[in-house]
Structure 1
Amino acid sequence: MKKILYTIIACAVLWACNMEEIPEAQISVEPVFGSETGLEMYTNSFYEVLPTRTTLYTNSYYIAVNSVIKYLTENGFSSQESSGWNWRTLRNINYFIANCDNESVPVATRNNYLGIARFFRAYFYFDMMKRFGDLPWVGHPLDVNDPLLYSARDPRALIADSIKADLNFAIAHISNERDATCSTITKTVAAALKSRVCLWEGTYRKYHSEEGLQSTANQWLQEAADAAQIVMDEGYSLYTGGGVENSYRALFVAKTPLSSEVLYAVTFDSDLGVVHSGNRQWTSVTFGSCPSLVRPFVHTYLKLDGTPFTNDAGYASKSFVEECENRDYRLSQTIRTPGFTRVSGGAVVPTAPDYAYAITGYQTSKFTLDDTQYDNVDVCDNNVILFRYAEVLLNYAEAKAELGTLTDGDWAKTVGALRARAGITGGLTTKPKTVDPYLQGEFFPGITNPEILEIRRERGIELSFEGFEWSDVCRWGIGEQLTKDWEGIYIPEFEVPYDMNDDGKLDVCFTKQLNPSDKVPGVYYLYVGEKLSNGANNNSQIADDGHTLVFMKDQKRTWHNKLYFYPIPANDLVMNPNLGQNPGWN
């Protein structure tokens, strides 16, 4: 619904942006900047830059995808293929900021809309900074003769300071503290973004000694905690209306944002034809990249008593059905586990993972509407959440843990509350005192602080597939994790059909035969031999242990620290050689 409004408004804004190219005797900026209605219409155009579906990052330490990642292939990516150096959005924002000075509009009103504009400028620059590092700071609309068009880049530290200044202004001047419709930028949304930015910057400085900024990391971490506290003081709460088995997923399949927890979401309306293709993204083999969790990450989900699943003897050889039992309820609300159902033709149908899609055996269900009628057409109207309270709680907890100031009370109201929502009963009120050796050894070998380890566990689980994966890899400096094999489910026996959702019907057989005979009707046969009939390597193979499914076992991914930032696109360097290339790229 918002999209239709913004599209209409965009026409007016394009006219406004080109005003100065029209002789002043014919037109002026007065119609837009001389009234609150004009300011509101203009700032509404900024919302067009926000994503309209969950952003999937293939560069993740816990997600496998059905594609070769060129970015992680040795010599597979260059500045010729880089993209994203686009500044059109910034000019639109800067034009508004430069012209929002009409004294016929009250100062508080102007500052409110300036706060919204500066929020969007911060949002734009934060994305650009995470992608490219150093950037030119442009604080005014450029004309064709502006020397900044051919200037060098400013240091990333200056960009970070400028982003923070914009967000401080937004927090101080946006008049609405929260919005029940979750569809406008408010003071608390600005504070949530500030907590995200400051946490990123503080941890990046801490874990990247090459930046030479480690001594300033704590200042940013404290500001992350302070910004999160602004949101926490506003009265938000975790949504629990669906009980431990449904509340988490209910957030993502709801049409109307659940405003107790959601700060901002993109909303849709099928009656108006404003829809998205979410179900196709998560169910169609041909539409998307089939993002699936890897088994080592699935093992990080705790048991319901709050103890690690990996403490159990024989955990590594448990079948899919066995490893789904007695686990954090977010597992069954993130992937298809035994008991998962869908609606087909009005009937509730037990549904196993689709092994044509589930490349590791773990098929995502977190964002998928239950009715199968939504799978093959673009008709989904569930909201797409961009800011929610759970992330803010995790930002607060991580910042405090990194500072060494996390208390039991902090733990209880952040990680403890999130785990309680997921049905976990143990370890909710006191912060952890011992390191989980599996979590440390498998994902974070350089971390010895049990608080930080557990918060990273929680962040991965709570925010899975929500677009934070690559950002976390970069700020924590764990790029080497991206080179690991994509391990899937454990297969006890081959050539034996299995009931994977425990409904009494056989679903899949893992076979090493190219053309197995005597197939059982209704069973999907997944070939896991090494070679296809044409001699090419098979994507689905078995690990050296003889039982673990591995996807794209022969794809060799490599890591170099230059990959933390993308190269400046070659064409942009040709137009402005003063930009300089990022270290390690040519």
Structure 2
Amino acid sequence: MKTKLSLLLLVLLFSISSCKKYLEVLPKDFVSPENYFNNETELNTALVGVYDIMGSAALYGEILWSQFEVATDESFYRQSTTTLGVQVYNYDSNNSSVAGIWKALYAGIERANILLANIDKPSMPEANRSVVRGEALFLRAYYYYLLTSNFGDVPLILEPTKSVNNPEIARTPLKEVYAQILSDMTTAEGLVKPITAYNFAGRVSKSAVQGILARVCLKMAGNPLNDKTKYADAAKWAKMVINSGLHSLNPSYEQIFINHMQDKYDIKEGIWEVEFTGNLLQSGVNETGRLGVLGGLAGTNDEIGNSYGQWNGTRVLYDIYKPQDLRRDWNIGSYYYSGATKNKVFQTVAEAKSVGKWRREYELLTPKNRNYNGANFPLLRYSDVLLMYAEAQNEISGPDAESINYVNLVRQRGAGKVLNGTNVFTVNVVNGGSGYTTVPNVTINGGGFTTQATATAAIANGRVSAITVVTPGSFYASVPTVTIAGTTGTGATATVTLSTATDADLIPAETANQAAFKSTIIDERSRELCYEGLRRGDLIRWGIFVERMKNSASVATLRYIAAFKYASRPGDNISEKHNLLPIPLSEISLNRLLTQNPGWL
């Protein structure tokens, strides 16, 4: 296997420039394990080398999320000329991005194996050694989780590579690999420290292990293993995070992602993140990613931050939000920047709106690099834990009050209930008036607000046909009035309906039975977690990946404006073989014991 041939020497170079806080150290020179691991410092340096793989370009530095997760029912690659590649599900086993993921994950596994094989060598406090052991075991298991999620059966290697002369090893059955993942993660859970020991999210903590164990168990309960007993384990692990009392939702949804751009931590919401630092324009440690650079609000102004705006949100995603859900217009940006200017150009067509979750305008480190930044990538957030618990519990016994409440907490945050209190929910046209040839201005007056609401009107046949709330305002004490004034037309009137504490909550039809609640959770995970590298895996484990992609293609064909019809390509090209990636051809050519996944050449 090429992985073993190429990594035997590579893994001995503990390239450790990756992570901030605990992980902020300088690269080391080449050194062999026999001459290393002499003290606690060297052991921790080796651990940083295991972490370092997370930020590689093949994984969370760029490729894994920017290519393999971009084309789902949430987003599409905004390059009309792209007809080949993983972004449009038209590729083969010789694809370099596929091979890069495989190699990077096995590099991480080899680094972990070397560390674990030498962990007892240095003289150091046993409590400290146990923490390092736990983190290394967990990271190895997480790399195997990514491998199995993407490739299915993979070679299970638990010892350091001894020689490059015997690179052949067969694929291990999926059930055995997952058994090892669970064993390593469960052991790690008892060894690592609570997140409060660090107060940042870049290091593996007890909450991170528990939350990822819930994710792993949900995967095992779904396709392809379909081990339904694992729903109980998923619920158990998620509930441990909830019951710890260490975590809660940030009142502001958008602030979560502003924090990522500004190198700020909120360990109540953000449980585990891949850490990046610098932007290559300053001296010191630089380990950069491209979050907000490749996908973001397009524009080339260097002060705001260059963004290629390579992804657009799908209309499928746009349509599952309520208009009052603040997450919609944050995740699917309503504007872009005109060229190199700071001028915002607002979009009105859903499929023309680019991904806006991470916005470079909030970056603090200047000058800004046009292609790289130090924004952290979220691996696990508290809202995900709440939704995982609700899903697992629903599969066990159907919807219950606790699970429904957890979903409602996520929805209430999404609607800004804590952040904004009572605000303008809708503006309802009472009388359309007559004679309107130009759109009138709408002003919402009074009501004792903290932040004033705004709205826009639409006209049809000389009448005001609708009024849309643009910003809902905040903390209204009473119902405001509406003034409609324009250069033409008279007589239009409207009234305001204010929000209530529960208007974002699930309605009875959404929790009527197990099937209805599952459907609700499927949509809620997309509304909350879109673009965070989870959707493709979710759809695959639910067994609806191809179905949802075909539906997204159909929507693009039937409803998108002509300029974006090409968004149907991923769904047009997809088939059942895409539930797994192909085993890289480069690996098969070096390892005669490797077999290819069904449908791939």
Q: How does 1:197-216 map to 2 (within 5 A)?
A: 197-204=216-223, 208=224, 213-214=225-226
Normalised by the length of structure 2, the TM-score is 0.69
Report the counterpart of residue 227 of structure 1 in structure 2. Answer: 237
TM-score by length of 1: 0.70
CA separation of 1:376 and 1:219: change in aligned 2, threshold 3 A: same
C-alpha separation in 2, matches of 1:153 and 1:63 = 33
Q: Give, as a single letter, the amino acid of the residue that structure 2 aligns with 1:219.
A: T
Matches of residues 2-13 of structure 1 in structure 2 within 5 Å? 3=19, 8-11=25-28
- Cα distance change of structure 1 residues 155 and 433 upon mapping to structure 2, 3 Å threshold: farther
- CA deviations over 1:139-190 (Å, ceiling 9, x no partner): 100211686x322111011001111111001101113444312221112111
Partner of 2:565: 551
| Within-5 A mapping of 1:124-139 | 124-139=143-158
- Cα 1:113–1:406 change in 2 (3 A) is farther
Partner letter of residue 98 of structure 1?
Answer: A
Q: Which residue of 2 aligns with 1:159?
A: 177
Kindly state the Cα deviation for residue 406 of structure 1 after the two structures are TM-superposed. Answer: 4.1
- Show the counterpart of 2:72: 60
2:249–2:383 Cα contact (<8 Å) kept: no
- Given that residues 247 and 421 in structure 1 are in contact (C-alpha distance below 8 angstroms), is that contact kept between their aligned partners in structure 2? no
Q: CA deviation at 1:297?
A: 1.9
CA positional deviation for 1:3: 4.0
User: Given the alignment of the two structures, is residue 36 of structure 1 paired with residue 36 of structure 2, yes or no?
Assistant: no
Work out the number of aligned pairs and report it. Answer: 468
Task: Give the C-alpha shift of residue 269 in structure 1.
Answer: 4.6
The Cα of 1:114 is off from its aligned counterpart by 0.8
Matched, 1:259 2:267: yes
2:351 is paired with a residue whose SS is: coil
d(CA) in 1 for partners of 2:113, 2:568: 48
Once residues 68 and 426 of structure 1 are traced to their aligned partners in structure 2, the CA distance between those partners, rounded to angstroms, is: 47
Match of 2:328 among 328, 331, 347: 331
Aligned counterpart, 1:469: 535
Task: Give the CA deviation at 1:240.
Answer: 3.8
Residue number in structure 2 paired with 1:383: 376
Change in 2 beyond 3 A, CA 1:473/1:97: same
Q: How does 1:19-168 map to 2 (within 5 A)?
A: 19-20=33-34, 28-29=35-36, 32=37, 34-50=38-54, 51-52=60-61, 55-56=65-66, 57-65=69-77, 66=79, 67-68=82-83, 70-71=85-86, 76-81=90-95, 82-83=98-99, 84-86=101-103, 87-102=106-121, 104-144=123-163, 149-168=167-186
Cross-structure match for 2:201: 182
Indicate the larger mover: 570-579 or 163-172. 570-579
Q: Residue 365 in 1 paired to residue 365 in 2?
A: no
Q: Alignment partner of 1:191: what SS?
A: helix
Q: Any idea what the Cα deviations from partners look like across 1:315-342, whole Å, max 9, x if unmatched? A: xxxxxxxxxxx421111221233xx798
Matched residue SS, 2:94: coil
Instruction: Name the CA distance, whole Å, in 2 between partners of 1:350 and 1:567.
Output: 42
Q: Which amino acid aligns with 2:328?
A: L
Q: 1:474/1:232 Cα in 2 relative to 1: closer, same or farther (>3 Å)?
A: same
SS of match in other structure, 1:365: coil
Q: CA deviation at 1:72?
A: 8.4
* Pairing 1:301-380 to 2, within 5 Å after superposition: 301-302=321-322, 326-337=323-334, 351-353=345-347, 360-370=351-361, 377-378=370-371, 380=373
Distance 2:367 2:216 in 1: 35
Task: Determine the C-alpha separation between the residues in 2 that align with 1:139 and 1:170.
Answer: 15
Equivalent residue letter for 1:200:
K
Provide the residue aligned with 2:318 in structure 1.
Answer: 298
Instruction: Decide which of 387, 393, 396 is 2:386's aligned counterpart.
Output: 393
Aligned partner of 1:420 in structure 2 is: 412
Instruction: For residues 103-146 of structure 1, give each alpha carbon's deviation from its aligned partner in whole angstroms, at most 9, with x where no partner exists.
Output: 73343332211111011101111111111100111110021168
Is 2:291 aligned against 1:278? yes
Q: Equivalent residue for 1:517? A: none
Provide the residue aligned with 2:548 in structure 1: 481
- Report SS of the residue matched to 1:263: strand
Which residue in 2 is equivalent to 1:527?
none
> Structure 1's 69 and 378: CA in aligned 2 closer, same or farther, altered over 3 A?
closer
8 A Cα contact 1:177 1:187, kept in partner: yes
Is there any run of 5+ residues in structure 1 with no aligned partner, and where? 21-27, 303-325, 438-446, 489-541
| 2:516 paired residue among 450, 455, 461 | 450
Give the unaligned 5+ runs of structure 2. Answer: 1-16, 55-59, 301-306, 418-499
- Matched with 2:469 is none
Change (3 A) 1:236 1:546: closer
After superposition, the Cα gap between the structure-2 partners of 1:564 and 1:544, relative to the gap in structure 1 and judged at 3 Å, is: closer
Distance 1:198 1:180 in 2: 27
Aligned residue for 2:6? none
Q: Distance in 2 between matches of 1:487 and 1:562?
A: 20
Kindly provide the amino acid, as one letter, of the partner of residue 228 in structure 1: A
Greater alpha carbon shift after TM alignment, 152-161 vs 103-112: 103-112
- Judging changes above 3 Å, is the alpha-carbon distance between structure 1 residues 369 and 422 closer, same or farther for their aligned structure 2 residues? same
Mapped partners of 2:503, 2:139: distance in 1: 37
Distance in 2 (alpha carbons) for counterparts of 1:457 and 1:545: 20
Contact 1:407 1:431 in 2 (8 A): no
CA distance in 1: counterparts of 2:143 and 2:149, whole angstroms: 10
Identical aligned residues as a percent: 20
Partner of 2:479: none
Alpha-carbon shift at residue 35 of structure 1 (Å): 3.2
Contact 2:297 2:309 in 1 (8 A): no
- Give the conservation status (yes or no) of the 8 Å contact 1:192–1:231: yes
Q: How does 1:570-581 map to 2 (within 5 A)?
A: 570-581=585-596
Give, in whole Å, the separation in 2 of the partners of 1:448 and 1:99. 49
Deviations along 1:519-539, one digit per CA (max 9) or x if unpaired, are: xxxxxxxxxxxxxxxxxxxxx
Task: Give CA deviations for 1:216-247 in whole Å, capped at 9, x if unaligned.
Answer: x23222111111122212224444454x7x54
SS of 1:280's partner is coil
1:119 match: secondary structure = helix
Could you say which residue in structure 1 is the equivalent of 2:474? none
Deviations 1:289-328 (A, max 9, x none): 72111112211113xxxxxxxxxxxxxxxxxxxxxxx421
Deviations 1:7-50 (A, max 9, x none): 855426x41xx234xxxxxxx44xx2x53323222212222111
**Partner SS for 1:583:** coil
- Residues 263 and 428 of structure 1: CA distance in aligned 2, closer, same or farther (over 3 Å): farther
